[in-house]
Structure 1
């Protein structure tokens, strides 16, 4: 798989279809797989921190979740096939799980959010074996408390339920840290750090309308709905400016 390096982060030059096939194959063959989903904000946060770059690159799949990555690559005459979002990848995982009767565990969100998501998933994907859920507000690796009693209890609950897929929604970099620290302790095949996907699945947060998504303006919709996000959205123009003036910002890898 060819990759594109963004300030040290190696992002797969792939499509949603290809990633879905890889994940289905991994699930059917019980091949432990981790998925991280960096966007421009994450790239900008990580680019000066070697430990975060190493953390992101440790995943089996690092997919381009952010239209800014597509635009940035174009500025360097590199064709990144398409934006592959954590949300769309998660939905594909739900479809795969429903198709094969696989197990899913939801980890993240505030109290009650994962429970609501759990119930909504069951309505739409009745063939999924829903193994369990837990909120993200516990002491653990993601809060700097490795091997805490709470974390051990969460891991024991996950392993008892024997899921095939785990959605970890703590936000960056907590979800990536938690997955990296605990993936070998967990008896599951695919672990994906997917930010606010559990919130959307719960029905408490709405995703942008299709027209905004098709026009790659999902970021703009979120800004309209929540103007306080301007501090986060500023990462996109900052990223593009850095790309323009840094000849080594983006490189295509074989």
Structure 2
């Protein structure tokens, strides 16, 4: 079992290496416990919810790989990541989907009086997601909401707004190319204890899109459901065969 020491000193996390990316082996409960300590530390932590497409993007982009290597915690969001860990003989405890981790953190935040900030997606989507989360978790104070449509010129204002709000949790839903590198570049300025990229989670929470049925999630076919609903995702999905081929090659070289 390999381990990584979180920079903030909040403890060691068992990890498995998938194509050079260290992914946490903790289950959902263990992940929430680690992030509870992160909040208590008041030091910024980037949490990446990794899937095969993100790992392939890291292999293809120095910026994305730097984000992966500098992140304090990478959790196995995608079913393909769970499969890869099993294939390489060092499995994770379970899949830790980003949207489920968001809800688990909000639930824990209810008990501990945390605050949250939502950044990303379209204005009507993030506002509706904030409204629904506030109703579901009334004891978590949502201290800020901002859409994800801003460029470099607006960065300073967005960051200052978040700093002034002093949230315990910052959920970021921006496009795949921007999300993790943006968090990595600005996490120290942001100063938020837990900063997590959540992809399309606000779309699901707001009701704009639907998540795959539970039986498909259990069969690890959530990706197929999303592809069927959004055929425009096909070019991105072409990274999956490459990912599987690389994992198989790595496994062969290990034998």
Shorter-chain TM-score bucket reads 0.7 to 0.9
Segment drifting more, 166-175 vs 73-82: 73-82
Residues 1:165 and 2:177 are matched in the alignment: no
Match for residue 53 of structure 2?
A: 41
Residues 1:134 and 2:150 are matched in the alignment: no
Runs of 4+ aligned structure 1 residues displaced above 6 Å come to 248-251
Root mean square deviation of aligned Cα: 2.0
Normalised by the size of structure 1, how large is the TM-score? 0.88
Structure-to-structure mapping, 1:48-59, within 5 angstroms: 48-59=60-71
Residues 1:235 and 2:247 are matched in the alignment: no
User: SS of the residue aligned with 1:47?
Assistant: helix
Residues 1:103 and 2:115 are matched in the alignment: yes
Segment drifting more, 43-52 vs 9-18: 43-52
**Runs of 5+ in structure 1 lacking a partner?**
141-147
**Aligned partners of 1:152 and 1:250: how far apart in 2?**
47
**Aligned partners of 2:144 and 2:70: how far apart in 1?**
27
Segment drifting more, 72-81 vs 82-91: 72-81
Residues 1:65 and 2:69 are matched in the alignment: no
Match for residue 36 of structure 2?
A: 24
- Would you say the 8 A contact 1:4–1:250 is kept in 2? no
Normalised by the size of structure 2, how large is the TM-score? 0.88
Give the Å deviation of 1:247: 4.4
**Aligned partners of 1:175 and 1:48: how far apart in 2?**
16
Match for residue 10 of structure 2?
A: none
User: SS of the residue aligned with 1:70?
Assistant: helix
User: SS of the residue aligned with 2:90?
Assistant: coil
**Aligned partners of 2:139 and 2:250: how far apart in 1?**
49
**Aligned partners of 2:46 and 2:213: how far apart in 1?**
29
Give the Å deviation of 1:49: 3.0
CA deviation string 1:42-93 (max 9, x = no partner) = 1112213344222212111011111112222222333222111111111111
**Runs of 5+ in structure 2 lacking a partner?**
1-12
**Aligned partners of 1:164 and 1:219: how far apart in 2?**
30
CA deviation string 1:135-171 (max 9, x = no partner) = 111112xxxxxxx3x2111122212222111101113
Higher RCO, Cα 8 Å, sep 6+: 1
Residues 1:151 and 2:163 are matched in the alignment: no
Give the Å deviation of 1:18: 0.6
Give the Å deviation of 1:250: 8.3
Q: Of 216, 219, 232, which aligns to 2:220?
A: 216
Match for residue 205 of structure 2?
A: 201
**Aligned partners of 1:58 and 1:89: how far apart in 2?**
20
**Aligned partners of 1:24 and 1:112: how far apart in 2?**
30
